[in-house]
Amino acid sequence: MSGIDFEELFKSPLDPPRDDQRDWRPLLFGVATGLLATAVALFWLGDDGSEAADATTGAPTTATTSGPLAEALVYPPGYVEIASDLAAKPVAIVVGDDAIQVCFVTVVARGSDPSASNWPLGGSWFLEAADGGVAASERVVLYRSSPGIFAVEFPLSETLGPATALRRVTMTSRWDHTDVSGTIMLPYDGTPFTAAEPVSADVGDGVSLTLPLVELGRYQGSIEWNVTGPAPQGARVIIGATLVDDAGDVIGSYGDFPSLLEPGHDGIIDVTWQEPFRISQEGTAAVRIDYTVGIVEVTDTEIGLDLGDVPTGR
Partner 1 sequence: MSGSARFGVGLVIGVLLAWGGARILDNGGSVPVGGSAPGTTAESARSSLVPWFEVGEVLVESTLLLPRGLSVENDVAVLEYELAGLSPALGEAEGIAGSGDVVVLPATWVLTTTEGASVEATTGPADRRVRFELPIGATVDEIQLIEWRVATPLGDRVELPVESGASATLRSGQVRIATVLDQSNSTIVKIDVRGLGGEWEPHGNPLPLDQGWRAAGPEGDYQLVWDGADAPDQLVLEDTAAAWRPVQGSILVYAAEAG
Hey, which residues between 77 and 136 contact partner 1 (CB under 8 A)? 77, 79, 86, 89, 91-92, 94, 96, 101, 103, 105-108, 110, 114-117, 119
Is 312 among the residues that bind partner 1 (CB under 8 A)?
no
What SS3 state is found at 312? strand
Please state, in angstroms and rounded to a whole number, the distance separating the CA atoms of residues 63 and 89: 11
Cβ-based nearer residue to partner 1, 19 or 246: 19
Is 256 among the residues that bind partner 1 (CB under 8 A)?
no
Element (H, E) at 34: helix 25-45
Is 45 among the residues that bind partner 1 (CB under 8 A)?
no
Is 74 among the residues that bind partner 1 (CB under 8 A)?
no
Q: For partner 1, which residue of 14, 72, 163, 279 counts as binding (CB under 8 A)?
A: 72
Cβ-based nearer residue to partner 1, 50 or 280: 50
Cβ-defined contacts of 279-284 (< 8 Å, 24+): 281/191, 281/218, 281/243, 281/251, 281/252, 283/245, 283/246, 283/251, 284/188, 284/191, 284/243, 284/244, 284/245, 284/251
What SS3 state is found at 195? coil
Buried b / exposed e over 40-50, threshold 16 CB at 10 Å, is eeeeeeeeeee
Q: Which of residues 259-298 bind partner 1 (CB under 8 A)?
A: 259-260, 266, 268, 270
Q: For partner 1, which residue of 13, 17, 60, 190 counts as binding (CB under 8 A)?
A: 60
Please state whether beta strands 139-142 and 149-155 pair in parallel, antiparallel, or not at all (unpaired): antiparallel
Cβ-based nearer residue to partner 1, 23 or 128: 23
- Cβ pair 249, 266 in contact under 8 A: no
Is 142 among the residues that bind partner 1 (CB under 8 A)?
yes
Q: How far is the CB of 236 from partner 1 (least distance, A)?
A: 11
Is 182 among the residues that bind partner 1 (CB under 8 A)?
no
What SS3 state is found at 21? helix
Q: For partner 1, which residue of 155, 161, 248, 258 counts as binding (CB under 8 A)?
A: 258
Please state whether beta strands 266-273 and 220-228 pair in parallel, antiparallel, or not at all (unpaired): antiparallel
Q: How far is the CB of 172 from partner 1 (least distance, A)?
A: 20
- DSSP per-residue codes, 156-189: --SSS-TTPPEEEEEEEEEEEEEEEEEEEEEE--
- Cβ pair 77, 295 in contact under 8 A: no
What SS3 state is found at 22? helix
Q: Which of residues 220-249 bind partner 1 (CB under 8 A)?
A: 222
Q: For partner 1, which residue of 82, 121, 151, 237 counts as binding (CB under 8 A)?
A: 151
Is 198 among the residues that bind partner 1 (CB under 8 A)?
no
Is 141 among the residues that bind partner 1 (CB under 8 A)?
yes
Number of residues that bind partner 1 (CB under 8 A): 88
Q: For partner 1, which residue of 130, 132, 136, 144 counts as binding (CB under 8 A)?
A: 144
